[in-house]
Amino acid sequence: MLELTLDMEQYDCPFIAASDGAAVSFCAAHWEFDPTDDRLETRMVVEGASPDAVDEGLRVLRDHDGLREYDLISRRGAVAHVRTAIDETAAMGTIRDHDGYITGPFRIADGRELWHVGFDRDGSANAALSALDRDNEYDVVSRDPVDITELSGFVQNVGAAMTLVEGCRDLTPRERETLEAAVDGGYFDSPRGETLGTLADRFDVSKPAVSKTLRRGQAKTMARITQALDEMDEE
Q: Mean per-residue pLDDT for 198-227? A: 89
Task: Mark out the alpha helices in 98-147 (DSSP H runs).
Answer: 122-135
Q: Quickly state the pLDDT bin for 234 (edges 50, 70, 90).
A: low
**Cα dihedral: 35, 89, 120, 41 (round 10):** -50
pLDDT number for residue 147: 62
Task: Mark out the alpha helices in 83-206 (DSSP H runs).
Answer: 90-97, 122-135, 148-156, 158-170, 173-184, 196-203
Q: Quickly state the pLDDT bin for 160 (edges 50, 70, 90).
A: low
Distance (Å, whole) CA 114 – CA 24 = 15
Q: Please give the share of the chain, as a percent, with pLDDT higher than 90.
A: 48
What is the pLDDT of the chain when averaged over all its residues? Answer: 86
Q: Kindly tell me if the per-residue pLDDT of 10 is higher than 60.
A: yes
pLDDT number for residue 235: 56
Q: Mean per-residue pLDDT for 76-100? A: 92
Q: Mean per-residue pLDDT for 38-46? A: 90
Where are the chain's structural domains? Answer: 2-145, 153-234
Looking at 53-57, 166-170, 212-216, which range is the least confident one? 166-170
Instruction: Convert the pLDDT of each residue in 115-140 to its tens digit.
Output: 888 898 889 999 999 998 887 888 99
Looking at 124-133, 146-155, 156-165, which range is the least confident one? 146-155
pLDDT number for residue 157: 59
Residues whose CB is less than 8 angstroms from the CB of residue 24 and which lie 6 or more positions away in sequence, other chains included:
18, 46, 47, 48, 49, 53, 54, 56, 57, 58, 109
pLDDT number for residue 106: 83
